[in-house]
Amino acid sequence: MSRIEARFEETGAAGDGALVMFVVAGHPTPGVCAELLPAIAEAGADIIELGIPFSDPLADGPVIQAASQRALGEGMSPRGVLEMAAGFRAKWDTPLVVMTCWNPIYKYGVEAFARESAGAGVDGVIVTDLPAEEAGEWVPAARASGLDTIFLLAPTSSSARVKKVVDLATGFVYCVSRMGVTGARDELPAELGAMVERIRAETAKPVAVGFGISRPEHVVEVCRLADGAVVGSAVVSLIEREQSSAGLRQKVRDFVSELKGATRGLRSTGRRR
Amino acid sequence: MAEGQGHSGESRAVHFGPFGGIFVPETLMAPLVEVAAAYESAREDPVFQQELGAYLRDYAGRPTSLYFCRRLSEHCGGAKIYMKREDLAHTGSHKINNALGQALLARRMGRKKLMAETGAGQHGVATATVAALFGMECDVYMGEEDVRRQALNVYRMRLLGARLIQIESGSRTLKDAINEAFRVWMATAETTYYLFGTAAGPHPYPTMVRDFQSVVGREARRQILEREGRLPDHLVACVGGGSNAIGLFHPFLDDDVRMVGVEAAGRGLQTGAHAASLTAGSEGILHGARSKILQTPEGQILTTHSVAAGLDYPGVGPEHAQLQATGRAEYVGATDSEALRAFELLTRLEGIMPALESAHAVAHAVELAGTLPPEAIVLVNLSGRGDKDIAEVQRVLAEQEE
């Protein structure tokens, strides 16, 4: 069982949802980001997603775009992200997922990226613009290195695609809550429950919901439906806003622990498996 | 009008050799699959093809002429130079061919609103035009830098009733306009049709845009056979995303005709300030397809430079990458100053003001013709007219004189 699957197993057994926290690696600077990761882990994140910044991220809204530009300006590179992951892994066992677009991986060398990610202690990879149809080179490389391959599903994914994607997915299935780019929203879409049920009907693998999850009440709502909630833009915004404040780490820690608190006791234990 | 119709039985493959594909977020899969399916059914539907053919003839003014440039040819002292006069098509460029085709498709799909990206503004103008023609709403995404240097086209789009969305992210050019258009489309695909302007992007756009633009090559092939009784020796076309070039090349692929695509070498390939993805780029994935792109060793997309906004793009259509890889077509560069000289030359010698994009093709054709014997024939796609560029040409020439 992978570290990611084991974490979902643990949170599920405790009756909690899993809290997945996304940050842009190298934002606001590589140094500050490396210090934030332990704070996020300590505050209760069950899984950390490290975004490898890409110059032209198609699926991202303004907050993550700006943070990515900033990180690139600070010299963040795919290799630098793996070094950051390795530094974190030396002290922490929180599952790590790397999230990026296909071009940086393609350019790195698909097999080398898989091998070196696993070597750096990364547990899974999400490639936001690599649909199952184009994953023929990636999935075998990731499997050979023991990385989970996390794929996304959207509200408009056909039943045939849901089937295909859940078969390829390992670690968890990432359910995109709504159409459109990443970014905080006020409310969750009403159809989310039906969407999660459509995925559940095809797989027993854990399902985490992301895109637009920004507040504890969203996390509560999501964790009633799914195995975990992914929060990204909201914490990236907080980091951007408070980057020069002495209390940055504490503010991030408080936000994460508030979100983690919202995951507790929402799942009837042993529901899955 | 047979030339308004698509070939049937051609490959509908998602890939061109190792290039092409659909590298997009999951949220774009359903809209793209829907467009691809609608296009498959439309292209096999004689009613759709007849309607498109009628609009191309009666509205866009097709067939456009094939013009022998006598004075330009004499000036070069070599091959005969013919120009396929896409500058004479309605709205002033080849872009109308694709805009009409896709707008009819959008209507067939029940969409009431179009969206488009634009670099030089020619595709934006073409899309705004067909939106007016069919009574549809239209949003055009354009980089801030391109809005500045193509002010005339910006005003034309506004007159036509389009809403212009100015993009201030990244390099503020075509690349960023495409990013933003796809991001918006993710959330609006149920009501809005994304009328993509070049033969790049995810499937089905490279295939569909090529099909709609192939009317250029089919006409040119028939016209040169009528005029000269034989096929040309060389085809020359400028390549940004590559739609006018693939439209000219495609009907000649099985013929013994050499094909040359001319990319923007900007201030020179050695300066890094260029947009020559095929001649100076490497394999990568941008805007939904694997192709040749301009990128850093770490896979970040580079900003580009060209005096021609329509060529100022770090990627290129995947079919061109495949034509280059197989050696079927050859790709070269023309610099900003070579394009400007060609702009002046064609204006003075033939009274034809080319778009700065097309001037890149003219520049190479002039050079090539000089090396060929008099019986040789070079056929250039004059993809657009230069009215839109006059202010920019004036500005750049004034700078050069300083």
Q: What predicted TM-score, i.e. pTM, was given to this entire model?
A: 0.96
Contact residues for A68 (Cβ-Cβ < 8 A; gap 6+): A24, A27, A51, A53, A54, A55, A57, A60
Please tell me which residue in B76, B90, B94, B203 is annotated as part of the active site: B94
Query: Per the domain annotation, does A71 fall within a domain?
Result: yes
Query: Per the domain annotation, does A187 fall within a domain?
Result: no
Render pLDDT for B360-392 as a digit per residue (tens, 0 to 9).
999 999 999 999 999 999 999 999 999 999 998
Q: Give the nearest partner residue to B186 out of A77, A153, A179, using CB atoms.
A: A179
Query: Per the domain annotation, does A153 fall within a domain?
Result: no
* pLDDT averaged over every residue in chain B: 95
* pLDDT-above-90 percentage for chain B: 91
Q: Which residues of A touch B31 (CB under 8 A)?
A: 156
Distance (Å) from the alpha carbon of A58 to chain B's nearest alpha carbon = 6
Find the residue in B nearest to A126 (Cα).
Answer: B25
Cross-chain Cβ contact B299/A151 below 8 Å:
no
Q: In what order do the strands lie in the sheet with A148-150?
A: A148-150, A124-127, A96-100, A47-51, A18-24, A228-231, A207-210, A173-176, A152-153
Give the H or E element holding residue B116.
Answer: strand B113-118
pLDDT category, B11, cuts 50, 70, 90? very low
Give me the pLDDT at residue A269, please: 58
Query: Per the domain annotation, does A106 fall within a domain?
Result: yes
Residue A33's CATH number: 3.20.20.70
* pLDDT-above-70 percentage for chain B: 97
Give me the pLDDT at residue B5, please: 38
**What is the identity of the amino acid at A8?**
F
Residue range B206-214: mean pLDDT, rounded: 98
My answer on whether omega of the bond before A53 falls inside 30° of 0, hence cis, is: no
Note if B138 is an active site residue.
no
Asked whether this complex has an ipTM greater than 0.85, the answer is: yes
Note if A16 is an active site residue.
no
Say how many domains are in chain A: 1
Phi and psi torsions of B24, nearest 5°: -140, 160
The pLDDT of residue B249 is above 50: yes
The pLDDT of residue B307 is above 90: yes
The pLDDT of residue B192 is above 70: yes
Cross-chain Cβ contact B295/A59 below 8 Å:
no
Using alpha carbons only, give the angle A76, A182, B201 rounded to the nearest 5 degrees.
80
* Among candidate residues B263, B317, B319, B311, the one with its CA nearest the CA of residue B287: B317
Query: Per the domain annotation, does A53 fall within a domain?
Result: yes
Cross-chain Cβ contact A104/B300 below 8 Å:
yes
Cross-chain Cβ contact A55/B169 below 8 Å:
no
Residue range B15-41: mean pLDDT, rounded: 97
Q: Which residues of B touch A165 (CB under 8 A)?
A: 26
Query: Per the domain annotation, does A272 fall within a domain?
Result: no
- Cα–Cα distance list, B70 to B80, B226, B366, B371, B374 (Å): 8, 18, 12, 17, 12
Q: Which residues of B touch A65 (CB under 8 A)?
A: 169
Query: Per the domain annotation, does A74 fall within a domain?
Result: yes
pLDDT category, B233, cuts 50, 70, 90? very high
Q: Which of A54, A55, A77 to mutate to test the interface with B (most CBs of B within 10 A)?
A: A55
Q: Which residues of A touch B176 (CB under 8 A)?
A: 56
Give me the pLDDT at residue B12, please: 64
Give me the pLDDT at residue A185, please: 85
Q: Which of residues 14-53 of B touch A (CB under 8 A)?
A: 14, 21-31, 33
Residue range B137-152: mean pLDDT, rounded: 93
Residue pLDDT tens, chain A, 273 long: 999 999 999 999 999 999 999 999 999 999 999 999 999 999 999 999 999 999 999 999 999 999 999 999 999 999 999 999 999 999 999 999 999 999 999 999 999 999 999 999 999 999 999 999 999 999 999 999 999 999 999 999 999 999 999 999 999 999 999 888 888 888 889 899 999 999 999 999 999 999 999 999 999 999 999 999 999 999 999 999 999 999 999 999 999 999 999 999 887 654 444
Residue range B26-47: mean pLDDT, rounded: 97
Cross-chain Cβ contact A59/B27 below 8 Å:
yes
Residue range B98-102: mean pLDDT, rounded: 98
Cross-chain Cβ contact B27/A55 below 8 Å:
no
**In 3-state terms, what secondary structure has residue A254?**
helix
Find the residue in A nearest to B21 (Cα).
Answer: A134
Query: Per the domain annotation, does A175 fall within a domain?
Result: no
Enclosing domain of residue A65 = 3-148+214-261
Render pLDDT for B269-292 as a digit per residue (tens, 0 to 9).
999 999 999 999 999 999 999 999
